[in-house]
Amino acid sequence: MNASEKADVVIIGGGVTGTAILRELSKYELKCILVEKELDIASETTKANSAILHAGFDAKQGSMKAKMNVAGNRLYHELKQELDLDIEWTGSLVVATDAVEMETVKELFTRGRENSVEGLEIWSAEQVLKTEPNLSQEVKGALWAPTAGVCWPFGMAIAFAENAVINGAEIVRNCTVEGLDVVDGKICGVRTSQGTIKAKYVINAAGVHADEISRLAGDNSFTIHPRKGEYVLFDKTAREQMVKGIIFPTPSKTSKGILVCTTTHGNTFVGPNAQDMDDDDKEDTAVTPQGMQEILSSARKLLPNIPVGAAITEFSGIRAVSSTGDFILGESEKVSGLIQAAGIQSPGLTSAPAIAEYITSIVLKKEPDIQKKANFKRNRPKHKMFHRLSHEEQAELVRENKLYGRVICRCETITEGEIMDAIHRPCGGCTVDGVKRRTRAGMGRCQGGFCGPRITQILSRELGIPVTAVRKESADSQMFYEKDQKNGGNA
């Protein structure tokens, strides 16, 4: 980035919300720059969530969560083909195990109808167990929502980002916001670790740090509280003992509950729990033995025979809980040109494309002369997923490019060709975890034990940097210790 850049719009935050907004704005004749403090996009909340596209029955009627959820779900049905998104429309079940919980199920059914969710049904215990035979025999019934689905969550953010870049938007990574310039009550620039960007509008999509960004401009009208959720992920071999779709318990006041859910790649997970953290713990994603036991104990209420030996990893994410209890969407009342997209907790992933349309409409109302791009490219190049191709298609791909014949990740059958593509695509991966999120290399049973060193070598070669400069995730996630070369040390 130049020392002093100019833009019409600067977006702060490279999660699924920020990248969706960038993609929507890239449809118009606007210069848009997204800044992300990490080395890669989708590195925080977007990388560690339940990956569920919610139907929209849970949120309070009339809330922004309810409106954005239902609209976003519908938009993803259109975007799936347009952006080559990895989505399976599995439907979801909210399962009751006693009469009190069945009353909650009925309330959710009514709320969902009020929120205009389509196709909702209340199922009997027999219907539930016919669909999900591994569930507890204590099941009394459930709410069936056919429009729900599972997705590849960071794949969503990456798709939005790639398409935005193809259409002329810019993404600057490893770029920390240090200040916001406000003159006469109007935003006019963003000071970053890579220079200042003059801008007419700043969109605050900074996740758990959105309140801090807002305060930099003098708007302290809301706070963001971190709530951690831990998960346990199971190997694909456990699927027959787990579930086929999305299984929710009846929700509590603070959480949708510890659920059991499939993924688009054949794994299953249980989680998350809900741990309210201190406000200075927004980066604490550590998992704990206590958290794992809480998750497994709660999940056994719905799925009694969880194959714990098939667990392959634990992870956690931080949810951005707003002081308002709802999404915070709209222009700041204190600073003209500062547009908030804050407090985006569940159902934020589902809501992202609808939030993007909503935020873009605010910019367009203030800039009525802005025109749509005549040459906007709606699609992005499709990923070549080697393991999902037929043998004939695989052979043809290897004939075209021999790198697709070199399997780097044996657990997931990910080839060097796919890794090369992930590095060199628009907004490509530049870290080991960045490659993992784009290809699944390292997400299998061995969790990168075999393929990790080879991926590091490929990144070093393709980025033209020493192996010791390759990072796992963040700028300080060094994987190698380099001795002092002046003393004759080696890496």
The full DSSP string for 401-426 is -GGGG-EEETTTTEEHHHHHHHHHST
For 386-469, the fitting CATH number among 1.10.3470, 1.10.10, 1.10.1060, 3.30.70 is 1.10.10
Q: For 289-306, what is the mean pLDDT?
A: 95
Q: For 74-81, what is the mean pLDDT?
A: 95
Each residue's pLDDT tens digit, 367-422? 999 999 999 999 998 888 999 999 999 999 999 999 999 999 999 999 999 999 99
Q: How far apart (Å, rounded) are the C-alpha atoms in residues 126 and 139?
A: 9
SS3 call for 341: strand
Beta strands in 343-406 (DSSP E): none
CATH superfamily entry for domain 88-149+225-320 = D-Amino Acid Oxidase, subunit A, domain 2 (3.30.9.10)
Q: List phi, psi (to 5°) of 400.
A: -75, -35
Neighbour-count burial for 63-100, b at 16+ CB within 10 Å, e otherwise: ebbbbbbbbbbbbbeebbeebbbbbbbbbbbbbbbeee
CB of 380 closer than 8 Å to CB of 159? yes
3-6 — which CB contacts under 8 Å span 24+ positions?
Answer: 3/195, 3/196, 4/195, 4/196, 4/197, 4/198, 5/33, 5/195, 5/196, 5/197, 5/198, 6/31, 6/197, 6/198, 6/199
Each residue's pLDDT tens digit, 342-368? 999 999 999 999 999 999 999 999 999
Distance of CA 346 to the CA centre of its chain: 11
CB of 443 closer than 8 Å to CB of 263? no
CA dihedral of 231, 237, 242, 243, whole degrees rounded to 10: 100
Percent above pLDDT 90 for the chain: 90
Strand order in the sheet with 87-88: 52-53, 149-151, 87-88
State the burial class of residue 364 (Cβ atoms within 10 Å of its Cβ: 0-12, 13-18, 19+): middle
* Residue 93 tokens, joined: 């079940």
Each residue's pLDDT tens digit, 153-172? 999 999 999 999 999 999 99
pLDDT band, residue 483 (cuts 50/70/90): low
Q: How far apart (Å, rounded) are the C-alpha atoms in residues 284 and 278?
A: 10
Q: Which residues contact 367 (CB under 8 A, 6 or more apart)?
A: 8, 30
- Determine the pLDDT at residue 86: 95
Q: Point out the residues that are catalytic.
A: 54
Q: Where do the structural domains in the chain lie, given as residue ranges? A: 4-46+154-223+325-366, 88-149+225-320, 386-469
CB of 173 closer than 8 Å to CB of 38? yes
CB of 145 closer than 8 Å to CB of 92? yes
H or E element, residue 476: none
SS3 call for 33: strand
- Determine the pLDDT at residue 257: 83
Residue 305 has pLDDT above 70, yes or no: yes
**Residue whose C-alpha is closest to residue 425's, from 197, 83, 86:** 83
Residue 371 DSSP symbol: P
pLDDT band, residue 491 (cuts 50/70/90): very low
Q: For 62-74, what is the mean pLDDT?
A: 97
Percent above pLDDT 70 for the chain: 96
* Residue 453 tokens, joined: 């060193």
Cβ–Cβ contacts within 10 Å for residue 387, how many?
14
How far, CA to CA in Å, does 491 sit from each of 19, 78, 402, 433?
37, 50, 32, 21
pTM of the model: 0.95
CATH of domain 4-46+154-223+325-366: 3.50.50.60
**Residue whose C-alpha is closest to residue 66's, from 366, 466, 347, 280:** 347
Beta-bridge partner residues of 123: 142
Q: Which residues contact 450 (CB under 8 A, 6 or more apart)?
A: 409, 410, 411
C-alpha torsion sign, points 330, 353, 270, 57 = positive
Each residue's pLDDT tens digit, 438-469? 999 999 989 999 999 999 999 999 999 999 99
